[in-house]
Structure 1
Amino acid sequence: MDSKPRAFISYSWSNPEHEQWVVDLADELGDSGVHVLLDKFDLREGHDSIAFMERMVNDPDVKKVLLICDKVYADKTNNRTGGVGTEAQIISPKVYSEADQNKFVAVLKERDDEGKPYLPTYYASRIYIDLSNQENYAQEFERLVRWINDKPLYQRKHIGQRPAYLDEEPEISLGTTPYFRRAIDAIKGNKPSAGGALTEYFKIIATNFERLRIVRDQSKEWDEQFIENVSSTIPLRNELNQIFEAIAAYDTTGEFGSKVHRFFESLIPYFDRPANLNVGSWFETDFDNFKFLGYEFFIHALAAFIAHERFDLCSRLLNEHYYNERNQTFGQDTMVDFSVFCDSIKTLHYRNERMDTRLFSPVGMLIKERLTGTGITEFKLAQAEFVAYLRSEMTAVASDSWCKWWPYMLVFARRMHGPFEIFARAQSKAYFDRVKGMFAVQKADDFSPVLEAHGSGQRAPRYDYESISISLLMGADKLATRD
C-alpha cells in the first residue's frame, strides 16, 4: 500500500471558481506528498457521490478528512440541504466521537462581512486551519500539511528525570513566591512599582529567614539536620538567581544596586547568636546554615552580575561596607566589608571527617551539587569567587594582614591553564577600565603588591598539596596591554 498519507476533501459545489480553488489546494497537497481523495479525481459519470463520501469517511486507511468551509458549505450543512447536508449527517457524529477527534479538520475558505468564520454549527468550537487570508496562507498551509502527517510544529520534548529535590524533606516556606512574582513582573516590565516590589520581596526574605533556624534534634546527626535544612532552600535560591538576572538585564540605571546591598546587609544578624535567643547554651555551628546561605547567595549575585558585565553592581557589593549592629555590643566597628559573607562552615568540615569523604572543599562541593538544573556552572561561580578573593586580598596585603575571604570554589580552578574570562578580556585596555572598579584600582600595576606577596607562594590558597596561582588566573602579565 502507498505509504503516503491519504486525505479526503469534503466541499460544496458553490461555484466554478470555488471548485477550482479546491482542486488547486488538492494539487498543492499532492505536491507536498499527500494522496488526496477528491470527487474530481476519483469519481466518474454514473458513480454514487454520497456512497463515495460515506466510504471515504469510514475507510480506516483514510486518516484525515478536510472540510472546506465557505458560506455555501456552512449554510447547507447547518440546514441539512443538498449533498453537503447529507454529508453533514454522516460526518457530524464522527466529529463528536472521541475516537475521531484527530481525523477531521475545518479548512476555512472565507469569512463573513464582520470577519467571522463560516463554520458548520457542529464544528464551531473546534480549532480550524485558516486559508482565507492570503498573507498567512503559507504558514497555515504548512499547519495543514503538518496536521495531515501528525507532525505539529510544537511537540513535547523528551521528559527528563524527576528532580531529586521532590523526594527530599518538605521545603520550609518563607512565603516569598507572590512577592517574587510581583518583583520579577515589575522589573521586566520597567514598571514604576519595580523598586517598591523589589524592596518588599527582599524584606519578606529577611523577615522570614528566622523560619530556617534549626532546633537541634538529639536523635539526628547535626550535619544531617544542616543538609536537610539547606536543601529546603533551593527554590528560594533559584528565585534570587532570577531576581539577580533580571536586575542585571533590565536595571540599566543601577538604581537597584543599593537594594541588593541592603538585602545582603539584612542577612548579617543571622550569622551569629541573636540578642533575643532565649536559651541557656548554644553552639557556634548553630548558625552555619545561615552563613552558608549568605555565602551562596552572594557569589551567585556576583556571578550573575559578572555574566551580564554589570561591573557597577559588582563594585557596589565589593566596595561598599555593611552595617553590623551586633558589633556595637562588643565595641567593634559596626561597618564591615563584604568578607562577612564568607565564614568558616564548620558543620561541613565535621561532615567531611565523619563520612570520610576526603573532599578538598566540602563547602565548594555542596555549592556545586546544588547547581543541578540551574544552567550555572561551577566555573562561573569560581570566577565570581576569584573576583571576591582578589578584592579581599588587595585590602589584606595593603594592611599587612591575612585575607578574610577563603575561596571555597577555587578548588574547581586547580586545573586551569589560563586566566578567567573577564581577565582574558581585560587584556584590552578599554575592558580593563570597565572592570577595575571592582578592585578599587586605577591601573594594572596596582595589583603588583598582591602579586609580589604571592611570589613566595605562602599566601596562595591551597587544596591539599596544590596551590592556586593568582597570577595565572589573572593573566597578570597581559592585563591592559592591548588597545
Structure 2
Amino acid sequence: MDESTRKVPKVFISYSWTDEEHISNVLEFATYLMNNHVEVILDEWDAPEGIDLNHFMEENVRSEDIDFVLIISDKEYARKADERTGGVGTETQIISKRVYEDVNQTKFIPIVWQNDNNGKPYLPDYLSSRKYFDLTPKNRYSNSKKVLRRLHNLPENPKPKLGDFPEELLETNKYYPTLKEYIETFDEKVEKNPKSINFISRNFFKNFLKNLDDFKIKFETRNTLEIANGLYKNIEEYTPLRDYYIEFIEKITQVHEFAPIDYDIIKELFENIYSKYTTPNIGQSYMREEFMNFDFILRELFLYTITISVENNDYELTSYLLNSPYFLNDKYNLDKNHQTFLNLDRRGYIPTDGYLTKYCQEHNLNKLTGMGHLLISRIHKDYEVDDFVNSDILCCHISIINLHDQDGWFPFTYIYKETDYMSLYQKLISESHCEKVKCIFDIEYKHELEEKIKYSEEYFGKIRYGFSNVFMNYVKPISEYVNVDEIASKK
C-alpha cells in the first residue's frame, strides 16, 4: 500500500501551557508527526484568536473524527488534571469519564514528558495504570518513532499469525520430556562434575527402555501384508525416540576425553533390548513376527552407536561394543558361551527382512532388502548414508577378522554404499591413526593388523559375502580400502 492510499490517522494533542520551552517542544513533536503522514489538531495551529478554547478542546476530545488523543503529561499537566483546573482540567473531566467507563479504550494515549526526582512519571491519577510512551528528554528521539508506529498501526514487533494446531501434541508417544531434560541439562551437569556422566546415562537408558516398552506389538492377524504394514508403521512411530537416543550418544562421545563413561552401561542397554524384546518368556504364547520391530530397532540403535563413536573418535567405545562379551538372557538358548555382538544379529531367528521386503514389494518399491532399504531411507538428518553403511561394513569385517565367525554380521546396507571411501581404513597409512584405532582390531602391533587385513582379503575373496542375487556387488575386504604395505608408513 503506497502513501496515497494509506489511511491518514488524525490526532488531537492535549497538553499544558507550562512555559514557552515546553510549548516549543510540543510544537516540534507535532511537526514531526505531520511530516510523517499524521494529521495533527493542535490549538497553536487550529484555534485562531476569538475561538472558545474550552469548546475547541471539548469538541476535539469528543469528536468521532479524531482517531487518537495524545495526552502529553509533564508535572504541570498532572497537577492541573488532578486538581481539575484550567483548560487541562476541563479536558480531564471529559477524558477521565471515557477512560473510567471503558477500561479497554485505546483512543487516549498517555505520553510521559517528564519524571520526578525519583524517576517516577508525572501522570494524572486517572491514567496511572495505563500503558504509556516515555518521551522524557533522554528517550524522546528514540521513542518518537514508536509513537509513530502506534498511530499507523505498524508495530515494531507485530503479533504473528495464528499457526495450525500442533497435531503431534495428540500423539503422546512421540515426545519424551524426561529424556529431553537429560539431554538439555547434560552439558552443564557433566562440565560441573564429569563423574556424573555414569549416573546420568544409567537414568537416561532406564527411561529410554520404559518408553521403548510402549512399542510392543501384538498382531491379531496372520495376513502377511497386514503384518508388514503394521511393522512399518510401528517403526516409523518410534523414530522420535530413536532421535533422542542418537542425540544422547552424541553427547556421551563428544566428552569422552574428559568424562569417560563406563561402557558397560551402553552395552547393557543392548543386552536388555535383546533379552526383553527379542526373545519370548518361557511358556509365553508368541509369534516370531511380534519381535520384528525390536529386531530392527536393536540393529538400528547399535549401528548408530558405532557410527557416532567412530565419528567422534571414541574408538574405545567402538572396540568395546565390537570385542567384549555380551550376557544375553535368551530363555530358549541353553548355550550361554561365547556371546558377542554377533548375537544381536537376529536374522534366521526373526523374519524381519522378509516382511519389510514384502512391504516394499506391495508398495511398488523394487528393493532387494527391506531391512537395508528402511535403515537407509530413514537415515538421521545429521548423517550421510555412507557414515551408516561404513559402520555396517565395519561390524561385518570385525566379526570375521576378530571373532572368526564364518557367518559374520550381515551388513544389509552394503549395497547402498555411495563411494569407495572409508576413512577409518584409508587413514591406516598414518602411524598415529593406527595407534588410535588399533583397539578396534584387537591388536597391539602393526604385523597383527597386516595379518588380519590379509585374512579379510582371503575370506571375502572366497566367500563372495553378500546378496547372492546381486551380480558383482559383494562386501569388499579391508584391503580394497588400504594397501597393506602402506600401513603405518606415514606419521
Q: TM-score, normalised by structure 2?
A: 0.67
The answer to whether the 8 Å contact 1:254/1:312 transfers is no
C-alpha displacement of 1:181: 4.5
Matched, 1:359 2:328: no
C-alpha displacement of 1:194: 6.9
Matched, 1:297 2:301: yes
Alpha-carbon spacing, 1:325–1:431, altered in 2? closer, same or farther (3 Å): same
Specify which of 285, 289, 303 is matched with residue 285 of structure 1: 289
C-alpha displacement of 1:289: 1.2
Letter in 1 for 2:298: G
Counterpart in the other structure of 1:37: 40
Taking the aligned partners of 1:293 and 1:30, their CA distance within structure 2 comes to 69
Specify which of 391, 397, 415 is matched with residue 393 of structure 1: 397
Alpha-carbon spacing, 1:209–1:145, altered in 2? closer, same or farther (3 Å): same
Alpha-carbon spacing, 1:201–1:482, altered in 2? closer, same or farther (3 Å): same
Using the TM superposition, name which of 79-88 and 212-221 deviates more.
79-88
Counterpart in the other structure of 2:340: 336
The answer to whether the 8 Å contact 1:5/1:34 transfers is yes
The 5 A counterparts of 1:312-351 are 315=318, 318-319=321-322, 321=324, 323-326=326-329, 329-333=333-337, 335-337=339-341, 340=344, 345-346=352-353, 347-351=355-359
Counterpart in the other structure of 1:406: 411
Alpha-carbon spacing, 1:9–1:272, altered in 2? closer, same or farther (3 Å): same
In structure 2, the gaps of 5 or more residues are: none
The answer to whether the 8 Å contact 2:326/2:339 transfers is yes
The answer to whether the 8 Å contact 1:303/1:383 transfers is yes
The answer to whether the 8 Å contact 1:254/1:313 transfers is no
Q: Deviations over 1:12-46 (max 9, x none)?
A: 33555555555555666677x55363627853534
Counterpart in the other structure of 2:269: 263
Specify which of 82, 89, 106 is matched with residue 96 of structure 2: 89
Taking the aligned partners of 2:384 and 2:135, their CA distance within structure 1 comes to 50
Counterpart in the other structure of 2:209: 206
Percent of paired sites with the same residue: 16
The answer to whether the 8 Å contact 2:10/2:40 transfers is yes
Specify which of 451, 459, 464 is matched with residue 458 of structure 1: 464
Counterpart in the other structure of 1:229: 234
C-alpha displacement of 1:291: 1.7
C-alpha displacement of 1:312: 5.5
Counterpart in the other structure of 1:156: 160
The answer to whether the 8 Å contact 2:323/2:440 transfers is no
In structure 1, the gaps of 5 or more residues are: none
Letter in 2 for 1:293: I
Counterpart in the other structure of 2:178: 179
Alpha-carbon spacing, 1:330–1:122, altered in 2? closer, same or farther (3 Å): farther
C-alpha displacement of 1:92: 2.6
Taking the aligned partners of 2:124 and 2:313, their CA distance within structure 1 comes to 58
Letter in 1 for 2:248: I
The answer to whether the 8 Å contact 1:69/1:109 transfers is yes
Aligned residues: 458
Using the TM superposition, name which of 236-245 and 106-115 deviates more.
106-115
C-alpha displacement of 1:203: 1.0
Residue 384 of structure 2 aligns to a residue in which SS?
helix
Taking the aligned partners of 2:145 and 2:303, their CA distance within structure 1 comes to 48
